[in-house]
Amino acid sequence: MKIIADENMPNAKALFSHLGNVELVNGRTLTHEQVKDVDVLLVRSVTKVTQELLEGSSVRFVGSATIGVDHIDLDYLVKANIAFSSAPGCNAEAVADYVFSGLSHLYMTKQFSWLSKKIGVIGYGNVGKTVYDRFSRMGCQVCVYDPLKEEGDSSANFVSLDEILLCNVISLHAPLTSLGVYPTKGMIGSKELAQLSAGTAIISAGRGGVIDEVALLKRHSQLNGDLHLILDVWDGEPSINQKLVSIADIATPHIAGYSKQGREKGTWMVYQELCRHLELSSDVISKDVISKNDAISTGWFSSIDVDSAVLLEEMLARSIQAIYDVARDDVRLRYKYRENKEKNVFDWLRKHYVERDELNTCLIRANNNDACNLMGAAGFSVDNKS
């Protein structure tokens, strides 16, 4: 069996090699010629899996180690009788960590105190729900907009888009869609941005194209720069709007979900699905092949003791930044674009990403119930010493 895998899928060779010959490739530049005699195609979001790519090939299974499917022509896969699997939820914790690292950055650099502010989440899929649940457990006043998920779901505070736009913090996690009753492409345009108040924080960590970037630049100017922007996704990736980068508090190359554990979970989930497709057990594999326990790694920092006498919001911000400081990724992006030595800086940054751990890999020790509750809600493991 011939298997092609994106070179940015961790553990791909270790997991899939006992099933066939595995070749690692650049997912962005993948061609029909490369896949024509391949049986299994394993991708990430940078690969557009279309009829043009696959028609006439021997591909019978496509796996995407990501949560989104807007890069996949699902209708064609059904028509061509090609099995498909993605990895829903694999990086939900990682993206939530990105959101809270971004807010921690705003707190530490701009004294943006968000715990007491009104929070709006756009999109209630695996990621949006994880982000919403964290805010909710922290005791924040949080609401969500997702008309496709609202019907019959009373577990969250669903509101209109107009109400979301009145929030102090807006966190976007919607997929990019052009069709249907509620298309998301350009959903946040001039009309919507005009409703934003000065001092609003926008975190965009879903898909580029949901926000009208030209309109966002204009609204930023209208508010005299009093708009906090944490941007991970961009319209036109891998090309990105450098004017927008210049006004963003944080600019990163679509890596919100790039935790070490999240990427590993994505590969593992696709591996399990391929085993099911082949009617093999993913639990019974040869001893020299990586096991599930080894496939999902532990973190670098096993525990942190916090001083419960410190202001809760500062304790939270410093603890989050100890595990993942999003400013590191922002600085690296700006430096590499200034240096401009790479042919494609955006993809180079993704390929050579300095991996980070998820907050849940770190145990927080505290002797204060409020501190333990807050840190646990933020995503840490907690040891209450009180």
Binding-site residues for NAD(+):
146, 232, 257
Both tokens of 245, joined, read 């980068």
Write the secondary structure of 251-265 as one string of H (helix), E (strand) and C (coil): ECCCCCCCEHHHHHH
Mark the binding-site residues for substrate, compressed into ranges: 45, 66, 258
Which string of DSSP letters, residue by residue, matches 12-77? HHHHHTTTSEEEEE-GGG--HHHHTT-SEEEE-TTS-B-HHHHTTS---EEEESSS--TTB-HHHH
Both tokens of 265, joined, read 């979970």
Coil, helix or strand for 356?
A: strand
Quote the CA–CA distance of 61 and 365 in Å, as a whole number: 45
Q: Are 286 and 14 in contact (CB under 8 A)?
A: no
Nearest to 358 by CA among 373, 378, 372, 374: 378
Give the distance from CA 283 to its chain's centroid: 28
Both tokens of 224, joined, read 């005299």
Q: Are 38 and 4 in contact (CB under 8 A)?
A: yes
The arrangement of strands across the sheet holding 303-305 comes to 303-305, 363-366, 381-384
158 Cβ contact partners less than 8 Å away, ≥ 6 residues apart: 124, 143, 144, 145, 146, 149, 150
Quote the CA–CA distance of 75 and 81 in Å, as a whole number: 10
Mark the binding-site residues, compressed into ranges: 45, 66, 146, 232, 257-258
Which string of DSSP letters, residue by residue, matches 202-265? EEE-S-TTSB-HHHHHHHHHHTTT--EEEE---TTTTS--HHHHHH-SEE-SS-TT-BHHHHHH
Q: Report the catalytic residues.
A: 207, 237, 254
